A and B are shown apart, each in its own frame.
Chain A
Amino acid sequence: MDLSFSPEEIAFRDEVRTYLAENLPKRISDAVRNGTEQTKEMAEEWHAILNRKGWLATTWGVEFGGPGWTPVQKHIFEEECCRAYAPRIVPFGLNMLGPVLQAFGTKEQQDTILPRILDGTDWWCQGYSEPGAGSDLASLKTRAVRDGDHYVINGQKTWTTLGQHANKIFCLCRTDPEAKQQEGISFILVDLDTPGIEMRPIKLIEGGHEVNEVFFTDVRVPVSNLVGEENKGWTIAKFLLTHERTGIAGVGFSMQSLEEVKALARKVRRGGRPLIEDPLFAARIARAEIDLEAMKITNLRMLFKAQQQGAPGPETSILKIKGTVIHQELKDLARRALGPVAAPFPGSMTDGNIMFGPEGTSNNAARYFNNRKTSIFGGSNEIQRNILTKTMLEL
Chain B
Amino acid sequence: MDFNLTEDRRMLQDSLTRYLGDKYPVDHRNKVAYALPCHDPAKWEELAELGALFALAPEDAGGFGGTGFDIMVVFEALGRALNPEPMLGAAMASRLLTKVGADQEGLLSGAVKYAVAVGEVEAPYELDQIACTATAKGDGHVLSGRKSSVYGGQAADVILVAAMLDGKPALFQVQASDAQIAGYPMMDGGGAAEVLLDDTPATLLLADAAEALTDALNAGALALCAEAVGAMEVTHATTLDYLRTRKQFGVPIGKFQVLQHRAVDMLTEIEQSRSITIKAAAELDGPDASRFVSMAKNLIGRAARLVAEEAIQMHGGIAMTWEYPISHYAKRLVMLDAQLGDTDYHLSRVMAGLRAA
Contacts and interface: CB of A to CB of B under 8 A. Distances in A.
Contacts, number: 128
A111 interface: no
Contact of A318 (B268, B292, B299): B268
Given A1-B278, A3-B282, A321-B268, A294 B299 contact: yes
Contacts of A3: 1, 278-279, 282
B267 interface: yes
Contacts of B181: none
A298 B3 CA distance: 11
Interface string B238-261: 001001100000001011010011
Contact of B351 (A282, A291, A305, A382): A282
Contact of B254 (A293, A295, A395): A395
A167 B354 CA distance: 47
A393 B275 contact: no
B355 to A, nearest CB: 6
Contact of A4 (B1, B4, B5, B355): B1
A305 B275 CA distance: 14
Interface stretch (A28-36, A200-208, A383-391): A383-391
Contact of B1 (A6, A262, A321, A386): A6
A12 interface: no
Contact of B272 (A285, A294, A300, A303): A294
B271 A286 contact: no
Given A3-B279, A393-B260, A395-B243, A262 B272 contact: no
Contacts of A289: 295, 350, 354
A392 B295 CA distance: 27
B289 interface: no
Nearest to A388: B264
B254 to A, nearest CB: 4
Q: How large is the interface on B (under 10, 10 to 19, 20 to 34, 35 or more residues)?
A: 35 or more
A10 B4 CA distance: 20
B331 to A, nearest CB: 24
B244 to A, nearest CB: 6
Given A4-B1, A293-B279, A294-B276, A318 B357 contact: no
B347 A297 contact: no
A76 to B, nearest CB: 10
Contacts of A262: 354, 357
A285 B354 CA distance: 9
B281 interface: yes
Q: Which of A298, A321, A388, A393 has the most CB of B within 10 A?
A: A393
Contacts of B347: 283, 286-287, 290
A392 B261 CA distance: 12
A300 B278 CA distance: 11
A1 B3 contact: yes
Interface in B164-197: none
A382 B279 CA distance: 29
B355 A277 contact: yes
Given A1-B69, A290-B295, A393 B273 contact: no
A129 B329 CA distance: 45
B264 A297 contact: no
Contact of B271 (A9, A298, A385): A298
Interface in B314-357: 347-348, 350-351, 354-355, 357
A2 interface: yes
Contacts of B295: 289-290, 293-294
Contact of B261 (A277, A303, A385): A385
A262 B257 CA distance: 38
A315 B268 CA distance: 9
Q: How large is the interface on A (under 10, 10 to 19, 20 to 34, 35 or more residues)?
A: 35 or more
B230 to A, nearest CB: 16
Contacts of B351: 279, 282-283, 285-286
A5 interface: yes
A197 interface: no
B261 A389 contact: yes
Interface in A1-21: 1-6, 9
A287 B1 contact: no
Interface string A174-197: 000000000000000000000000
A385 B252 CA distance: 18
Contact of B6 (A1, A295, A303, A392): A1
Given A6-B1, A289-B350, A389 B275 contact: no
A297 B279 contact: yes
A283 B351 CA distance: 6
Interface string A264-304: 00000000000011010011011101110111111011011
A317 to B, nearest CB: 8
Contact of B2 (A1, A293, A388): A1
A322 B255 contact: no
Contacts of A4: 1
Contacts of A291: 272, 299
Contacts of A386: 257, 260
A224 to B, nearest CB: 43
B93 interface: no
B303 to A, nearest CB: 9
A89 interface: no
A72 interface: yes
Nearest to A1: B69
Contacts of A283: 347-348, 351
8 contacts: A1-B3, A9-B1, A290-B299, A297-B278, A301-B3, A301-B278, A304-B2, A395-B254
The 5 closest A-B pairs by CB, nearest first: A297-B275, A395-B254, A294-B276, A389-B260, A294-B272
Given A1-B5, A290-B295, 17 more contacts: A1-B2, A1-B278, A3-B282, A262-B357, A290-B299, A291-B299, A294-B272, A294-B299, A304-B1, A305-B3, A322-B272, A385-B261, A388-B264, A389-B257, A389-B260, A392-B267, A395-B263
